[in-house]
Structure 1
Amino acid sequence: MRIVVNDVAATPDAGGVYSILTDLYNQVKKKDHENEWIFILSGNYFPDTQNIKIVTRPDLKKNKFKKLYFELFNGHKYINDFRPDVYISLQNIATLKVNAKKQVVYLHQPVPFQEEKHFSFWKKEERKLAFYQYIVGFIIKKSISKVKPVTIVQTKWMKRAVLKNTKLPIHCIIVNHPFVNKSDSKLYRNQNYNFFYPASGYLYKNQKLIEQATEILNKKGIKKFKINLTLKNNKENKGENFNYLGHIPREKVLKMYENNVLLFPSYIESFGLPLVEAALKADIILAADTEFAREILNQYQNVYFYKYTDAKKLADLMEKVIKKKIVSNGVPLSDNNNGMQILDSVNEAIDDR
């Protein structure tokens, strides 16, 4: 069987999106030696193997409108030349007119499906997100409604949102939390009062709330703590409490949980990978009170919630961590609540629907 995977959106600096692609490639390389796999990517990020071939289309990554045109109008010609038995899109959109016995979409773009925030084209800082919410969102919903692919979502809230916003039948939706690989390093140690937030600079990642909470703590004379962010330093990023790491490899991210409390003020996520990564380390988690965070961490004890607009509550929780009034009980998230490997999700989609 020939399986074609389209994920030109994923690049090594793309965070969770690239992690999904990497996990699928590695699992196929390790476990599937029978089927033929073709990955259409924006760069040659992985080596070919006996049954895996990497095909690059960097032009589709450079121009978002060309990419959308590819999905809706001319991409099927390129994809059909590979004669796929199964076509898998890891980038949310069901490519139209693909001649495959089965089409699968891995849907992990939450912006068009959430109702927390309506982004504006008139505000410069929201323009890109408005494009995803309204333009890309319209295309995602229409393409899924038309093609009716087997659609894999990461959470129950996304399933409810997809059913509400598309014509996809309920039997075409698979809910599988992604499996998070645990590192061999140690659990959180309750040894210091530094904080860590691995996230991009998108507006909904809500770093502004951390800045506001830090100001509150500083005014109370609480200044001896560090907040490590995976952002590049720039003129807008100020404050002695902040340490800007830039993009760091996933191995280092996992290592950071050993000595840093996770801050997670993001209010829009399909899943929220750092929440599980930190929970598997028995880390203290200070998370915005959202539907996805409650769902993911419903069996975890070392999490403390606050409204994503409430800087004072976040500051109070951070102060309690700094003063050791909040400590981890050392019990990590159970493997039973971890999730499913993406290859297993894909195989379920191919075999059962």
Structure 2
Amino acid sequence: MEKKKTIVVSAVNLNVGGTLTILRDCLSYLSSLNKEGDYRIIAVVYDKDLAYYPYIEYIENKWPKKSWLNRLWYEYISLNKISKQIGPVFLWLSLHDTTPNVIAERQAVYCHNPFPFYHWKFKEILFAPKIVGFSLFSKLIYQKGIHRNLFVIVQQQWIKDAFKRMFGLAKDKIIVALPTENSDNNWSIKPSEGTVEIPSFIYAASPNSHKNFECLCEATRILAINTDSEFNVKLTIDGTENAYSKWLYKKWGSVKQIKWEGFQDRKSMFKLYNEASCLVFPSKVETWGLPITEFASFKKPMLLANLPYAKETAASTSNAAFFNSENPQELAELMLAFIEQKKGVFSTVPEKNLEEPVSKSWEQLFSILLK
């Protein structure tokens, strides 16, 4: 009798946000794949209750999440011992950037940290030292062991191109795995019809310095000086979360057009999308840009950073315009053009040609990994 192939998914660092969704979607697919017990599937996770599915064995460990030193020790020392204890492993898939030092017939790593490509500013050392640290060291973390992988998985073509240059990886070793659309995205909210009395801009993002809230805040201040028209700009921060958001509020809290909405759950977020006239997304680096995808379903205009991630995320949408993410004046002019309903501001974003191998679902991805 042929022995079952063992698949291990390691993800001890994923316990919140979009990366947790990736873990859940991955294990959900593997659970359905293993209904007949054809595989032995093991998930190494922070907390199995966050992503529990049948037909999967779990190894839990919260210790690696406590510090980067713990994490690196676990990835390069502890997981090596665990891989020996598990026995012959056919595929080891790391879902969080690092390539662990394990014994497996084949390895793959899912890379969704954009910070090797982030150009930070000196002021961020003061209120976002972790972001600066990620930018400085994430390239080294990616690089260690990356050539051990049969495949490296990324979400966009521009990252694939960057990885080919940065690490000398062959194009057929990098899979562009397009994020799958969440079935709960629309929350049964129908796009609003007709015109909105007061133009409303929305920026959905966490209070991290690479999200570049300052560009939109300063553009709002400039716009308020240069128009008598009413408008508002809604931010999903409240100015109290961390040193960065406190700095933002201190500098632009007096701009009455800025509405500090704070964190939103998904249902509230889609309600804000529905009420908004236009999305603004000035983030300086992303591996995808989920709010762009979410807002695009409402068929309303979007003002986006003129960067590769935004153009790729917005590909084939018909209502987008791009601005220099370092130029609040340029953004203010586009916002004014939107308020005054000037023609020719927004246009269709061309499709992006993707280089094979490409996957559009977890089923397609694992068919490549297990082939």
Smaller-chain TM-score bracket: 0.7 to 0.9
* AA matched with 1:349: I
Cα contact 2:24–2:51 (8 A) shared by 1: no
For normalisation by structure 1, the TM-score amounts to 0.85
Indicate the structure (1 or 2) with the bigger Cα radius of gyration. 2
Where 1:258 maps in the other structure, the secondary structure is: helix
Percent of residue pairs identical: 24
Alignment match, 2:291 = 274
Alignment match, 1:179 = 180
Alignment match, 1:350 = 369
Cα offset, 1:185, TM superposition? 2.9
Unaligned ranges ≥5, structure 1: none
Per-residue CA deviation, residues 73-110 of structure 1 (Å, 9 max, x unaligned), is 332213443344321111111111x1222211111111
* 1:197 equivalent in alignment to 2:203: yes
Q: Distance in 1 between matches of 2:44 and 2:229?
A: 49
Which has the higher mean CA deviation after the structures are superposed, 17-26 or 154-163?
17-26
Cα offset, 1:176, TM superposition? 2.4
Alignment match, 2:73 = 69
* 1:304 equivalent in alignment to 2:321: yes
Report how many aligned residue pairs link the two structures.
Answer: 344
Alignment match, 1:154 = 155
Alignment match, 2:169 = 168
Give 1:200-239 correspondences, 5 Å limit: 200-222=206-228, 224-234=230-240, 235-236=246-247, 237=249, 238=253, 239=255
Q: Distance in 1 between matches of 2:325 and 2:46?
A: 35
Cα distance change on mapping 1:28 and 1:94 into 2, 3 Å: same
Which has the higher mean CA deviation after the structures are superposed, 294-303 or 225-234?
225-234
Cα contact 1:283–1:328 (8 A) shared by 2: no
Per-residue CA deviation, residues 171-209 of structure 1 (Å, 9 max, x unaligned), is 211112212224343235454322222212222211000
Cα offset, 1:122, TM superposition? 8.8
Cα offset, 1:345, TM superposition? 4.7
Alignment match, 2:130 = 128
Per-residue CA deviation, residues 101-124 of structure 1 (Å, 9 max, x unaligned), is 221111111111x2x615669932
Q: Distance in 1 between matches of 2:161 and 2:349?
A: 29
Alignment match, 1:23 = 25
Q: Distance in 1 between matches of 2:82 and 2:181?
A: 33
Cα distance change on mapping 1:266 and 1:121 into 2, 3 Å: closer
For normalisation by structure 2, the TM-score amounts to 0.81
Per-residue CA deviation, residues 188-233 of structure 1 (Å, 9 max, x unaligned), is 5454322222212222211000110110122135574333322243
Which has the higher mean CA deviation after the structures are superposed, 122-131 or 203-212?
122-131
Cα distance change on mapping 1:111 and 1:189 into 2, 3 Å: farther
Give 1:86-125 correspondences, 5 Å limit: 86-96=91-101, 98-112=102-116, 114=117, 117-118=119-120, 123-125=125-127
Per-residue CA deviation, residues 127-170 of structure 1 (Å, 9 max, x unaligned), is 3223212223212112203x133111111111111111114332
Cα distance change on mapping 1:228 and 1:127 into 2, 3 Å: same
Q: CA RMSD in A?
A: 3.2
Q: Distance in 1 between matches of 2:339 and 2:363?
A: 41
Q: Distance in 1 between matches of 2:360 and 2:30?
A: 11
Unaligned ranges ≥5, structure 2: 241-245
* AA matched with 2:231: F
* AA matched with 1:128: K
* AA matched with 2:210: Y
Where 1:134 maps in the other structure, the secondary structure is: helix
Alignment match, 1:37 = 41
Q: Distance in 2 between matches of 1:326 and 1:259?
A: 22
